[in-house]
Structure 1
Amino acid sequence: MNENSTHSFFKNTKGFWEETPKEFHNRGFLFGDGLFETMVFENNMIRFSDYHQERLVMGCATLQLNTSQLSDIAEIERLLINNGFQGVSKRIRWNVYRSGQGKYTPVENGIQETLQISAFSMANPLKSKAAFSSTFRVPSTIWSHCKTINGLHYVMANLERIEKSLDEIILLNDKGYVSEAGSSNIFWEIEGVFYTPSLESSCIAGVSRRVILEKLKDLGKKVGEGIFLKTDLMQAERVFTSNVTGICMIENIEGNTFKTSGLPPELFMLFK
């Protein structure tokens, strides 16, 4: 197999994984009616596997999807090993969408699943130039914390990032509070206290966000989850983002410069 190519698997109605899709015009494609997990496969295991499984199940409950036939992580790990991916690091996207057709109104609440396996790269450790989006906001919904297939506000925000020659873009929610970055959660530090927007800010319930918060508390660090204004973040000494690929320091946001070293090394080790 070419290690840089993307490989796909599709789970059929009998519960077997195949490399050929049975239906292209599914509800995920037509309506964005589903969820996904982005995961790292390394040392023949999926990193933070329990947290990914838990988040996906919770997301399915929010979207009223029946999870009785949902795969578990161990099954996906076996599939990867049996198809020649053992001993390599891969980025795995696990897509779960509502089965059946219908129009906006679903005719059933079962699930279908696909996997996309691609090359994995660690996070860029430093992003030099960031700014707040002046055009797009994260909408507040009961599924804002879920990783839904419909991510147009992230797509459009990252187009704005490219147009403005930024390395990172930061999003506010529709009430004007800090929510998240273009593809990651955001944290900042002020006088030894670490802050991050709460889920009430419409940010994604990131797996990396969860493990970082747990590690900070294990280290005895003070942590503040809450609703914050842009001015709160701009008072920070350090700002960093996190997603499945790791932690990235932000050097400058709209002319404000931040420290890019000094984070507890234990945070970076979470992603090694």
Structure 2
Amino acid sequence: MIVLKNNQFIEREYATIDMEDRGHQFGDGVYEVIRVYEGRYFLLQDHLERLQYSLNETGINFNISEENVHDHLHQLIDLNDVEDGAIYIQITRGIAPRSHPFPKDTSPMVFAYPIKATSPTEAQSKGIKVILEEDFRWLRCDIKSLNLLGNVMTKQKAVEAGATEAIFYRDENHVTEGSSTNVFIVKDGTIYTHPADNYILNGINRRYLLYLAKELNIPYKETIFSINDLKQADEVFISSTTSEMLPVVNVDGEPVANNKPGPISKQLLETFFKYKDLNQIPTH
């Protein structure tokens, strides 16, 4: 495997991380996972713009355009012959003696490398089970930071419960997102999903699915909904870069509708790959 470390392409065994890298010690960094289909990036520009947003919000002095990240990422999939998979990229504040305040003189550290990713076709066909968990994370979920301990702990609860995902709620009237996904419900032909604010990560596939809904003339609303709304929905589905879109057929042991993926979920899935060559989600 060839890894991108800063501006160099090196073999994996040489891609070491200093013990005083702030990403390692504080989770002081940000990241993206970008899907590759048939050797081409999917929605690369959207991912890079969100990465720059996360960098700006955390005060990490790194400019995606000036550092030529776009070209480096294209070289990376060519060097690794990635046809169907994903690229993980993280940028930390850099290496400095351990101290909480931002160091004055340090250079951000960049790592990028391919990871395995395939379309979860069986789960998309049959649907998945999810559990509900109280959202105890910080209030800047809009930043795609390396601080994922709350997400990891909650995902493990889902695994131990025999579920695919855990859906967070702040209180009974406020469902937010999944531990690694965005959440949608359907009621009376309309899609509902949480607004893109600080309580959720504005997922790239979340935005893409809303674009598809508009293309298909399916109405949608970005609004907060409750646990009861979730459990009484006609359909539920989740999305992320690696899971694409997954219909939910069971929530906390209770079936959703008839325990099968619903018609809107199916319609969106059937349309999902129509625009897989997109570099950026079009604006209407």
> Counterpart of 1:91?
86
Structure having the higher helix fraction is 2
**CA contact 2:154–2:179 (8 Å) conserved in 1:** yes
Task: Single out whichever of 255-264 and 114-123 deviates more from structure 2.
Answer: 255-264
Aligned to 2:142, what secondary structure does the other structure show? coil
> Counterpart of 1:129?
129
Structure-1-length-normalised TM-score: 0.86
Alignment of 1:109-258 (within 5 A): 110-123=107-120, 124-125=123-124, 126-133=126-133, 136-141=134-139, 143-173=140-170, 177-200=174-197, 202-245=199-242, 246-254=244-252, 255-258=254-257
Cα distance in 2, alignment partners of residues 266 and 130 from structure 1: 20
Q: Aligned partner of 2:207: which letter? A: R
> Counterpart of 1:63?
58
Percent of counterpart pairs with the same letter? 22
**CA contact 1:178–1:201 (8 Å) conserved in 2:** no
> Counterpart of 2:272?
270
Q: 1:196 to 1:38 in 2, by over 3 A?
A: same
Aligned to 2:197, what secondary structure does the other structure show? helix
Structure having the higher strand fraction is 1
- Alpha-carbon displacement from aligned partner over 1:79-138 (angstroms, at most 9, x marks no partner): 221x2415x2122111111113142112146421111312221133144422211xx414
Cα distance in 2, alignment partners of residues 147 and 169 from structure 1: 18
Q: 1:217 to 1:113 in 2, by over 3 A?
A: same
Aligned to 1:260, what secondary structure does the other structure show? coil
Query: Does 2:22 align with 1:23?
Result: no
Cα distance in 2, alignment partners of residues 260 and 104 from structure 1: 47
**CA contact 1:139–1:174 (8 Å) conserved in 2:** no
> Counterpart of 1:4?
none
Task: After TM superposition, give the deviation of residue 154 of structure 1 in Å.
Answer: 1.0
Cα distance in 1, alignment partners of residues 173 and 100 from structure 2: 30
> How many aligned positions are there?
259
Q: 1:262 to 1:201 in 2, by over 3 A?
A: farther
What is the RMSD of the two structures over their aligned residues, measured on CA atoms? 2.3
Q: Which runs of 5+ in 1 are unaligned?
A: 1-6
Cα distance in 1, alignment partners of residues 162 and 216 from structure 2: 37
Query: Does 2:52 align with 1:51?
Result: no
**CA contact 2:231–2:256 (8 Å) conserved in 1:** no
Q: 1:150 to 1:193 in 2, by over 3 A?
A: same
> Counterpart of 1:3?
none
- Alpha-carbon displacement from aligned partner over 1:179-222 (angstroms, at most 9, x marks no partner): 11122111111011100111336111110001111121222221
Q: Aligned partner of 2:103: which letter? A: V
